[in-house]
Amino acid sequence: MARIIYVEDDTIVGDAVQKILTQAGHLVGVIAHGTLGYDTIAFKKPDLVILDRKLPGMQGLEILRALRQLPQLYLTPVLMLSATGGEDAIDEAMGAGANDYLVKPFTPEELVDRVAGVLRQNSFRKAE
């Protein structure tokens, strides 16, 4: 079980992701505003952060870059989950420090697998 914060301003997508990941055994909080999401992540220090790219307040990539500057959150895994696809968008996010990037729409199985993969990757990194 992981504690996950998902920053997503589309309530339908946020509710769906929360339901899928809760059924997979995780605790998921959804926050609809980028700046509030960043503040909550910095305070709660979750096991995983999932970010949309386009958000009110801070954008997803801004949040990602800011997290990578904080010593206490530098290694927190981040999965970008966005309708913005394409090689350039994915490369930009990965270059900014994302651990993975999933393009909407996605299947529930794909989401659960990607979350598990990012968490597994992070557990290996912490063990080193």
Total number of domains constituting the chain: 1
Q: Which is nearest to 78 in space by CA: 128, 23, 121, 17?
A: 121
Residues 38, 88: Cα–Cα separation, whole Å: 24
Question: Which residue in this structure is represented by tokens 């870059």?
Answer: 65
Residues 7, 88: Cα–Cα separation, whole Å: 22
Give the residue numbers spanning the domain of 62. 3-127
pTM: predicted TM-score of the whole model, two decimal places: 0.95
Q: Taking the alpha carbons of 26, 20, 59, 68 in that order, is the dihedral positive or negative? A: positive
What is the identity of the amino acid at 11?
T
User: Which CATH number do you get for residue 64?
Assistant: 3.40.50.2300
Q: What is the pLDDT of residues 41-94, one digit of tens each?
A: 999 999 999 999 999 999 999 999 999 999 999 999 999 999 999 999 999 999
Q: What is the pLDDT of residues 6-40, one digit of tens each?
A: 999 999 999 999 999 999 999 999 999 999 999 99
